[in-house]
Structure 1
Amino acid sequence: MTLQQSNAAAMPRTGVFLRSQMRNIAPFATLILLIVFFSFASPSFATIDNAANILTQISVAGIMAVGLTFVILCGEIDLSVASVANATGIVVAFFTMQEAYVNIANVPLPGWLAIVLALASCLALGLVNAVGTTVVGIPSFIMTLAMMQIGAGICALLVRGQIAYAVPDLVNTLGAGRIYGFPTIGLVLIAFLVVGHVTLRYTRFGRYIFMVGGNREAAEYSGVNVKVVLGAALVICAVCSGVAGMLGVAHFGSAQQNEFDGYLLDAIAAVVVGGTSLFGGRGGIGNTIVGLCVLGVLNNGLDHIQIDSFLKILIRGLILLAALIVNVYVQNIRTVERAQGG
């Protein structure tokens, strides 16, 4: 084969590779372009303080997105993340308030008990999602849609339209504190991202997640208990959402109904915009980090240039639509390649 023939053969392969990696390349290129644009458009954007501010702004949605990454990698979806966050945040505030007037043998209930009860509540909600999806056989879309209403009902029952302000000291420190001027909620997000990445990339459970999302039948033939893996992913997602809800209540200073409803789209968008495949098996925490940065930089940058708030919503929607188009386009390329290879 001549050099020209070799180069001609390599060019199509390069084109196919670039198209197949578009899911990873496009979000990163978008992030770089946004940073460059806003850095020139606003002198106050490219500063250390603003970088810490962006990290704080994406922390609640980011912790939810870590759990959603597990679910979406399995080829499933969880629409109840915001509702679980709402319910858990209200549970921790509700039982913290009880310290003032509920006593056991005249001993006030400790703050850690409110945290335990809140974590138990989000764990229980996650288990209900898992059982409904894997044992009963309800599609995750429908099951978590029902859980969205269940979580909203728990919130309404506990606060009855009121606002709760009390949270345990530990939750307040992690959600609203600072260490040497750095927001602790940002450190919690970083810890969740690191643990999530290590779990997905370097553990057997993480490999099972990718196997289930990539080819569920093949995973079953390989001896993977698909139902357990799916159930575990849904429970992890609920616990991440619960932690995000507790810290969010401390960060915002109050617990109330529908407080985190807007974070459902943000969490899903972070995972999808970052490049994790909606069809499962492709992506990971690295993609979620890029997606979070894209959304954080976009929202923060638009505030710096004082763009119309309604236009900001439209721009976010267009970016999400573009990410979905790329996601489906790359999946179609993979389908065609498999057909040709077969």
Structure 2
Amino acid sequence: MASSETALAAGQRARGLAPFLRSQMRNIAPFLTLIFLSGFFALASPSFATLDNLGNILTQVSVTGIIAVGLTFVILCAEIDLSIASIANVTGIAVAYFTLQDSYVNIANIPLPGVVAILLSILLCALLGLVNALGLTVIGIPSFIMTLAMMQIAAGVSALLVRGQIAYKVPSLITTLGSGSIGGVPWLVIVAALMLLGGHLVLTYTRFGRYVYMVGGNREAAEYSGLNVKLILGAVMVISAVCSGIGGMLGVAHFGSAQQNEFDTYLLDSIAAVVVGGTSLFGGRGGIGNTIVGLFVLGVLNNGLDHVNIDSFLKILIRGLILLLALVINVYAQRLREKAVE
């Protein structure tokens, strides 16, 4: 009798565990992927599992992480921003352009032009984000199309500013944050960590963060509850643009120059970081914690492939397959969620 009751209890626990695992698949799969990749590359290359290489990985994903903070807000609202890389590029070029234009101005040996260049550049990326917001919320253009157009607009502005040249001079503050370090820790990593932490705190502990999840989870219900959905959507588009701009400015300092098409690869990397980490493309599920896991998955994958003897063209294929797998899990998890609701 006791054995049958024990078996029944075990069966109930197993049945209870299965739905839990299905509901958490979007969170569990990226973490298991990270563990698997880390273990594989640690065995494949002795130079991978070192503190120095961990520092390399953190530095390599920092710019992507800064851009991905804003993109996480957008995707949580079930929208997309395809202009992030172009806005990062134009902001990085703009801060170099404004620095060169005003470098001859100096009052009492105080480098005001550097501060002005930074403020003008942030204003520029915020303005581009505002245009995205107005197109989405006022005109009603789908975010995919609106940000696709903005991608071309920002690329055009970049071309006008740089005119095929390469700029090297940026404000000293940007140079320090982009390429300097403190106590052996790059400032770029610190800034990325602070922005990720700030994004997490906003999404988790503020009213605005709750509104973001409400809009992404059920937009109609959010509207019926009296929430200004258009204001939230507009705000996340501006946040995305500003985060991209900050990443662009620091990225230019990290790379050592500002030039056209410098950030093109960051579009896929940023989207992949958010999606691979487990944030739902359908909105309302995920967050900065998922984005951090996604960043590490991409960082470990890209860095690990450089440590093993593998065809460089095959690396691109592997990254694409990882992203495809993440998309499949994302869509499948959404279907499971819909079935559970039914």
TM-score class, shorter: over 0.9
Q: Is residue 298 of structure 2 the alignment partner of residue 310 of structure 1?
A: no
2:340 aligned with 1:337: yes
Query: Aligned residue for 1:246?
Result: 249
Native 8 Å contact 1:63 1:244 kept in 2: yes
Distance in 2, matches of 1:21 and 1:221, equals: 29
CA distance in 2, matches of 1:239, 1:108: 23
Are the structure 2 counterparts of residues 108 and 71 from structure 1 closer, same or farther at C-alpha, using a change threshold of 3 Å?
Answer: closer
Out of 320, 323, 327, the position equivalent to 2:326 is 323
What is the one-letter code of the residue matched to 1:216? R
Residue 109 (structure 1) shift: 6.0
2:167 aligns with one of 164, 167, 171: 164
**Matched letter for residue 279 of structure 1:** F
The count of corresponding residues between Structure 1 and Structure 2 is 339
Q: Does 1:49 align with 2:52?
A: yes
Q: 1:173 aligns with which of 169, 173, 176?
A: 176
**1:226 maps to what in 2?**
229
- Please tell me the residue identity of whatever aligns with 1:43: P
| Range with bigger deviation, 298-307 or 205-214 | 298-307
Deviations 1:37-83 (A, max 9, x none): 11111111111111111011001111111100000000000000000
Aligned match of 1:255: 258
Paired residue for 2:138, among 130, 135, 139?
Answer: 135
Match of 2:277 in 1: 274
Letter in 2 for 1:220: E
TM (norm. structure 2) is 0.96
- CA displacement at 1:10 relative to structure 2: 3.8
**Superposition RMSD on alpha carbons, in Å?**
1.8
1:4 to partner: Cα distance: 4.2
Q: Counterpart amino acid of 1:327?
A: N
**Aligned 8 A contact 2:103 2:113 in 1:** no
The answer as to 2:218 corresponding to 1:215 is yes
Specify the alignment match of 2:21 in structure 1: 18
d(CA) in 2 for partners of 1:23 and 1:309? Answer: 30
Secondary structure of 1:152's counterpart equals helix
Which of 187, 190, 197 lines up with 2:190 in the alignment?
A: 187
Q: Residues 201-241 of structure 1, C-alpha deviation per residue, up to 9 Å, x if partnerless?
A: 00000000000000001111122111111111110000000
Letter in 2 for 1:24: N
Q: Contact 2:86/2:263 (CA < 8 Å) preserved in 1? A: yes
1:77-98 deviations in Å (ceiling 9; x for gaps): 0000000000100000001111
1:337 deviates by 1.2
Contact 2:276 2:323 in 1 (8 A): yes
Identical positions, percent = 70
For residues 202 and 300 of structure 1, what CA distance do their matches in structure 2 show?
34
Answering whether residue 294 of structure 2 is matched by residue 288 of structure 1, we say no
SS at match of 1:241: helix
TM-score by length of 1: 0.96
Amino acid at match of 1:148: M
Q: CA deviation at 1:9?
A: 3.9
Deviation at 1:138, TM superposition (A): 0.4
Aligned with 1:265: secondary structure?
Answer: helix
Structure 2 unaligned spans of 5+: none
| Preserved contact between residue 99 and residue 109 of structure 1 (Cα < 8 Å) | no
- Give distance in 2, aligned partners of 1:94 and 1:16: 55
Cα distance in 2, alignment partners of residues 137 and 85 from structure 1? 25
Instruction: Give yes or no for contact 1:99–1:108 (8 Å, CA) kept in 2.
Output: no
Q: 1:97 to 1:10 in 2, by over 3 A?
A: same
C-alpha distance in 2, partners of 1:313/1:296?
14
* Structure 2 residue matching 1:110: 3-state secondary structure: helix
Unaligned runs of 5+ in 1: none
* C-alpha displacement of 1:108: 8.3
Offset of residue 101 of structure 1: 4.8
Q: Does 1:197 align with 2:200?
A: yes
The CA distance in 2 between the partners of 1:97 and 1:308, in whole Å, is 41
Given candidates 150, 155, 159, the residue that maps to 2:153 is: 150
Aligned equivalents of 2:339 and 2:297: distance in 1? Answer: 30
The answer (yes or no) to whether the contact 1:62–1:189 under 8 Å persists in 2 is: yes
Shift of residue 5, structure 1, vs aligned partner: 4.2
Deviation at 1:305, TM superposition (A): 1.1
Tell me the distance in 2 between the aligned counterparts of 1:40 and 1:109.
52
Native 8 Å contact 2:105 2:113 kept in 1? no
Q: Rate the CA distance shift 1:109–1:98 in 2: closer, same or farther, 3 A.
A: farther
Contact 2:202/2:208, CA 8 A, preserved across alignment: yes
